[in-house]
Copies of this chain bind each other. A is one copy, B any other.
Amino acid sequence: MTRVGLTAERLTRAGAELADEVGFDQVTVSALARRFDVKVASLYSHLKNSQDLKTRIALLALEELADRAADALAGRAGKDALAAFANVYRDYAREHPGRYAAAQFRLDPQAAAASAGGRHAQMTRAILRGYDLTEPDQTHAVRMLGSVFHGYVSLELAGGFSHSAPDSQESWSRILDALDALLRNWPAP
């Protein structure tokens, strides 16, 4: 029997592709085994279990997302940075819905600590350097931005804004305008 050359990394990448094709919750050890034309049990030499697979895909997605965001942020500030950052999330979710869903996967504290989650938070804070916010308002703003981006992208992905005017792209642009205005004029307590 010829060996196929499975590794945790190859399985994770293939799992991510599978997620984008059929949805993250349809990513299964069995489906992955079929994809490699290998018996299911064989994967257990490389993966601890099904949760391990999903965690790895989630970590991959978080890394990719952070990399793209870092790229987009380079050399930008103010509203420019805000929009670039936001678009990275939205575009990633549209290009890779399965991976985006994976990035929402509930990680255990172990994995969460090792994830790119920290980079995301840092970058969101970096954007706010272009605005005049001090703590604790900065944290409130970070949380709000995260909520809007995640919320909008989730709802859009779930089909919430299709089949109704105006265009989702239009709303997205205007919401970014509104957020920029809000950050420039954050209300005092």
A→B interface (CB under 8 Å): 104, 106, 136-137, 139-141, 143-144, 146-152, 154-155, 158-161, 164-166, 170-171, 174-175, 177-178, 180-182, 185-187, 189
Contact = CB atoms under 8 A, between A and B. Distances in A.
B187 A140 contact: no
User: How many copies, total?
Assistant: 2
Given A148-B144, A178-B187, A170 B106 contact: no
Contacts of A136: 165-166, 170, 174
B144 A178 contact: yes
Given A181-B187, A182-B178, A182-B181, A151 B140 contact: no
13 contacts: A106-B159, A136-B165, A137-B174, A139-B164, A139-B166, A139-B171, A144-B171, A144-B175, A146-B151, A146-B160, A147-B148, A151-B154, A182-B182
Residue of A150, A151, A175 most packed against chain B (CB within 10 A): A151
B158 A143 contact: no
Given A144-B178, A150-B151, A154-B154, 10 more contacts: A136-B166, A140-B166, A146-B160, A147-B147, A147-B155, A148-B151, A149-B151, A151-B151, A177-B187, A181-B185
A143 B171 CA distance: 8
Contact of A177 (B152, B166, B189): B189
